Amino acid sequence: MAGEERNIKVVIDDVRKTYQGRTGEVTALNGVSLNIMENEFVTVVGPSGCGKSTLLNIIAGLLEPTSGRVICNGAEVHGTGMDRGVVFQQYALFPWLTVKKNVMFPLNMKGLKGPQAEELAMKYIKMVDLEKFCDHYPKELSGGMKQRVAIARAYAAEPEILLMDEPFGALDAQTRTQLQQDLLDTWEREMKTCFFITHDVDEALILGQRVIIMSARPGRIKDIVDIDIPYPRSQETKMSPRFLELKNYIWSQVYQEYLEVRK
């Protein structure tokens, strides 16, 4: 990390997004610009409805911006691509496939088949601690377990850019802490570019190199905070004075925006 030369991986260039709502036009994002560096871990916080998911979906290519553009790896984004993997808050698994087959699915799409695909899938199934359930179907799993399968599936495809929209939001505290640590360890080892949305300031801080704070709708970037806490980080990091100082600052910034929403 330190001293390492890094390229820009994602350029978000003056993105604006409006929706046609029931009561007229809704401006979800206005003038959002951000460069995300290769192998950078960026986390995003902001009040509900400020456009975080909209921005992630635009980077993923699931939505087109109304104006502005997103460039990934030097090419303007129009549609989804295997270079970008997405994890949503709500697990989106194929109910007719077992855990293993769900995780293998994107690998098959990439042309990887047979024992090679199975081995890679099992590596990530083990990471989320579901080895014993690899032949189960989604309906046989709890919500938290299903989400862990969705996470394993996104990791298994080994995308260059991981886009995560509150992936741990619906999980119990212990599983959430465990998956934060796994994600940190994976990132420290494999260094993928991560764009991670959360409502949890602790989570944003423990994971991210930079925390992007978004303003109330129409979403803009209100502040970008460099998290100058070295890696490797662990759950103990959450007790350090610097962590608490940054947490107070970010929390108060987000709270101000939350009050804007309530006005």
Ligand X SMILES: Nc1ncnc2c1ncn2[C@@H]1O[C@H](COP(=O)(O)OP(=O)(O)OP(=O)(O)O)[C@@H](O)[C@H]1O
Q: Which residue ranges make up the site for Mg ion (CB under 5 A)?
A: 53
Beta strand 161-165 with 84-87 is parallel
Q: What angle do CA 138, 144, 150 make, to 5 degrees?
A: 60
Neighbours of 166 (CB within 10 A): 20
> What's the rounded Cα separation, in Å, for the pair 45 and 121?
31
Answer for which of 8, 26, 170, 261 binds ligand X (CB under 6 A) is 26
Is there binding between residue 21 and ligand X (CB under 6 A)? yes
Residue closer to Mg ion by CB (options 53, 175) is 53
Binding mask 1-20 for ligand X (x = CB under 6 A): ------------------x-
In angstroms, give the least distance from the CB of 122 to Mg ion: 31
From the list Mg ion, ligand X, none, partner contacted by residue 255 (C-beta under 5 to 8 A by kind): none
User: Assign residue 61 a region: left if phi > 0, alpha if psi is -120 to 50, beta otherwise?
Assistant: left
Q: How many residues bind ligand X (CB under 6 A)?
A: 13
Is there binding between residue 28 and ligand X (CB under 6 A)? yes
Residue closer to ligand X by CB (options 32, 149) is 32
- Candidate segments 32-40, 45-53, 173-181, 185-193, binder of ligand X by CB under 6 A: 45-53
Report the candidate in 60, 128, 66 with the shortest Cα–Cα distance to residue 99: 128
- Reported as half-sphere exposure (CB side, CA atoms, 13 A), residue 106 has a value of 24
CB 205 within 8 A of CB 240: no
Interface of this chain with ligand X, residues 168 to 227, rule: CB under 6 A? 217
Is there binding between residue 255 and ligand X (CB under 6 A)? no
In angstroms, give the least distance from the CB of 52 to Mg ion: 5
In angstroms, give the least distance from the CB of 137 to ligand X: 28
Residue closer to ligand X by CB (options 8, 170) is 170
Task: Report long-range pairs for 171-175 (Cβ below 8 Å, ≥24 apart).
Answer: 171/143, 171/144, 171/147, 172/144, 175/144, 175/148
Q: Give me 161's structure tokens.
A: 């850019």
Is there binding between residue 51 and ligand X (CB under 6 A)? yes
From the list ligand X, Mg ion, none, partner contacted by residue 48 (C-beta under 5 to 8 A by kind): ligand X
Its sign, for the CA torsion 210, 211, 214, 215, is negative
CB 42 within 8 A of CB 210: yes
In angstroms, give the least distance from the CB of 56 to Mg ion: 8
Binding mask 87-106 for ligand X (x = CB under 6 A): --------------------
Binding site residues, ligand X, CB under 6 A? 19, 21, 26, 28, 46, 48-54, 217
